[in-house]
Structure 1
Amino acid sequence: MHSLFSDPRSETLARIHAALIARFGRIPRHDDRRRDPVWTLVQGVIGARTKTHLSNANTDALLARWGSWEAVARAPEAGIAEVLSSATFPAMVSARLKACLSAIAAERGAVDLRHVSNLPTDTAMDWLETLPGVGRKIAAGVMNTSRFDRRALVIDGHHRRVMQRTGLVPPRADTARAYAALMPLLPGEWSARDVDEHHLLVKRLGQTHCRPSGLHCDSCPIRAECETGKQRA
C-alpha cells in the first residue's frame, strides 16, 4: 500500500496520535473567549510552573479586575501580583507580564496582536519571541491555540520528554530544537486543531505514564512506537 507520508517518522507520529485518542479520548478546544490572541499570550506568560486551570482563572481575573489589557499594562506590579497570588512566583510573573504588555503597547499603540495574523507563521513567532517572557512554547501557543489557527506545535517539558523517549527528538534537545525536529514530521493533513490536540494528548501521557522517573511502560498506549518502551520490554 502506498504510504501517505514521505517520512516514516510522520507515520509513527500519526500512529502515536491515534493510540492516544483511543486511550484518552478527544480533547475539545477552549471556548472562543479564551481564544483571543492576547488572552492566549497572557495565559502563557503567567502560566510557567503553574497548573493550567489556575493560569486560565488568573488570566480571566486580570481582565475582570482592570477591564482591558491596556489597563493591566498600566497597573502597578503589586496589584497584578495580588491577582496572581495563586501563581508560582507571582511577583516575578507580574513584572514579566507588565513588561510584555507594555512592550506591545509601545510598539503597536495598544495591546493588540491583530497585525500578527498578516505575517507568515515563522515571522510571527520570531516577533512574538522578542517580547519579554515569551519563548518558543508561548509563541507557538499564540499562533496555534488562538483564533490565528496556525500549524505550530506547542512543546512543554512533558511533551519534549515523551518525544525524546520515543526517539523522535534528540535526547538533549531544548524546546527550540524539539520544535525544529517535530514540525517537519507533522502529518500534512493535520489541522491546527489536530496539532493542538496532539500536544495536549502527549502532555497527558507525560503526566500519567511517562513521568520524569517511575515510568509506567507496561500500560503505556504508545509503547510499540517508543524506543524506551521497547528497551524496557
Structure 2
Amino acid sequence: MGTPLDSRSAQVAEVLDRLYDEYPDATISLSYSNRLELLVAVVLSAQCTDERVNEVTAGLFEKYTTAEDYAAADEAELAEDIYGITFHNNKAGYLKSIGETLVADHDGDVPDTMDELTALSGVGRKTANVVLQHGHDVVEGIVVDTHVKRLSRRLGLTTETTPTNIETDLMDVVPEGDWQQLTHLLISHGRAVCDARNPDCDDCVLEDVCPSSKLDAEVDLASGETWD
C-alpha cells in the first residue's frame, strides 16, 4: 500500500493515467463567456470557492460588461456588488484598477502575455496561467492552486513548498501536453477524494502508489510518520 514508483517521471505518468480515467471530463468550474469575465472570475476566486464566485458573477456580469464599466465603477458600489466574496473590498479595488489598465494600455482587451497579465492589480502567475490557458489557448505553465499544491506534494510529484517552485518543478517532469489538464485532474481529485483534513484513502485510485497514504501512516504510527 502507498508505495511510490521508482522515479518521479514514472510516478507522474501513473498518476496522470489513473486520473485521466477517473475524471475524463475534468475542466475549469468557473462560469464565464469571454476573456474579461474569465479574468474577473479568477481574480475573485482567490481564497474563495468557485461555487460562490459563480453565484456572485451571475449578476455582476450583467451589470459590468466591458473594461470601461469596471474602470468607471464606484469602488464602494463595486464592493457591494461582489459582497460575499472573500476580501470583497480589496478585490473591488483590483477590478477597478484592472479596468483602468485595460482601457489605458490594451484598448479594453485582456492581454495575452504573462508579463502583461501579471502587471495587472491582483493578478499573479496562477491567475495569469488560467487566463492564458482558457482565454487565449496559450499554455505557458501549470496552474498551482491549493489543491495542486497539496496533492502534488502528497503524491510525491514534488518536494517544493511554494507555488512558484512547485510549478517550475512540475514543469520539469510533467509532459508539456499535460500541463493544463494536470491542474484540472488534481483539483477534481482533491475535491472528491483527497481532502485537506480527511482524505478518503480507502476509496482512492492512487492509494497504492501514494507515498502519503493514510493507510500506511496508520501502520507506521509508532515511528511518528504521518500522512500529511
Q: Structure 1's 225 and 104: CA in aligned 2 closer, same or farther, altered over 3 A?
A: farther
Q: Which of 181, 192, 195 pairs up with 1:197?
A: 181
Report if aligned partners of 1:37, 1:148 keep a CA contact under 8 Å in 2.
no
Letter in 2 for 1:208: A
Taking only aligned residues, the RMSD between alpha carbons, in angstroms, comes to: 2.7
Once residues 76 and 8 of structure 2 are traced to their aligned partners in structure 1, the CA distance between those partners, rounded to angstroms, is 48
Q: Which of 120, 125, 130 pairs up with 1:141?
A: 130
Q: Shift in Å at residue 75 of structure 1?
A: 0.5
Q: Structure 1's 166 and 30: CA in aligned 2 closer, same or farther, altered over 3 A?
A: closer
Report if aligned partners of 1:46, 1:87 keep a CA contact under 8 Å in 2.
yes
Equivalent in the alignment of 2:120? 131
Gaps of 5+ in 1: 1-7, 117-123
2:194 is the alignment partner of 1:210: yes
Once residues 116 and 53 of structure 2 are traced to their aligned partners in structure 1, the CA distance between those partners, rounded to angstroms, is 23
Once residues 216 and 33 of structure 2 are traced to their aligned partners in structure 1, the CA distance between those partners, rounded to angstroms, is 41
Equivalent in the alignment of 1:113? 110
> Secondary structure of 1:34's partner?
coil
Q: Shift in Å at residue 101 of structure 1?
A: 2.3
1:61-99: CA deviation from partner (whole Å, max 9, x where unpaired): 333113322112210112212221231222221112212
> Secondary structure of 1:228's partner?
coil
Equivalent in the alignment of 1:20? 19
Q: Which structure 2 residues correspond to residues 36-75 of structure 1 after superposition, within 5 A?
A: 36-75=34-73
Once residues 10 and 105 of structure 1 are traced to their aligned partners in structure 2, the CA distance between those partners, rounded to angstroms, is 44
Once residues 13 and 25 of structure 2 are traced to their aligned partners in structure 1, the CA distance between those partners, rounded to angstroms, is 15
Report if aligned partners of 2:171, 2:179 keep a CA contact under 8 Å in 1.
no
Gaps of 5+ in 2: 1-6, 220-228
Q: Shift in Å at residue 23 of structure 1?
A: 2.7
Once residues 39 and 68 of structure 1 are traced to their aligned partners in structure 2, the CA distance between those partners, rounded to angstroms, is 9
Letter in 2 for 1:145: H
Report if aligned partners of 1:9, 1:168 keep a CA contact under 8 Å in 2.
yes
Q: Shift in Å at residue 139 of structure 1?
A: 0.9
Q: Which of 205, 216, 221 pairs up with 1:221?
A: 205
Letter in 2 for 1:14: A
Size of the aligned set, in residue pairs, is: 212
Equivalent in the alignment of 2:225? none
Equivalent in the alignment of 2:224? none
Q: Structure 1's 215 and 16: CA in aligned 2 closer, same or farther, altered over 3 A?
A: same
Report if aligned partners of 1:62, 1:72 keep a CA contact under 8 Å in 2.
no
1:136-192: CA deviation from partner (whole Å, max 9, x where unpaired): 110110111223342532110111110011222225x2111111111122224x2xx
Q: Shift in Å at residue 228 of structure 1?
A: 1.2
Report if aligned partners of 1:145, 1:196 keep a CA contact under 8 Å in 2.
no
Q: Which of 139, 161, 171 pairs up with 1:183?
A: 171
Bigger relative contact order, structure 1 or 2 (CA pairs below 8 A, ≥6 apart): 2
% identical aligned pairs: 25
Once residues 206 and 79 of structure 1 are traced to their aligned partners in structure 2, the CA distance between those partners, rounded to angstroms, is 35
Equivalent in the alignment of 2:149? 160
TM-score (ref. length: structure 1): 0.78
Equivalent in the alignment of 2:139? 150
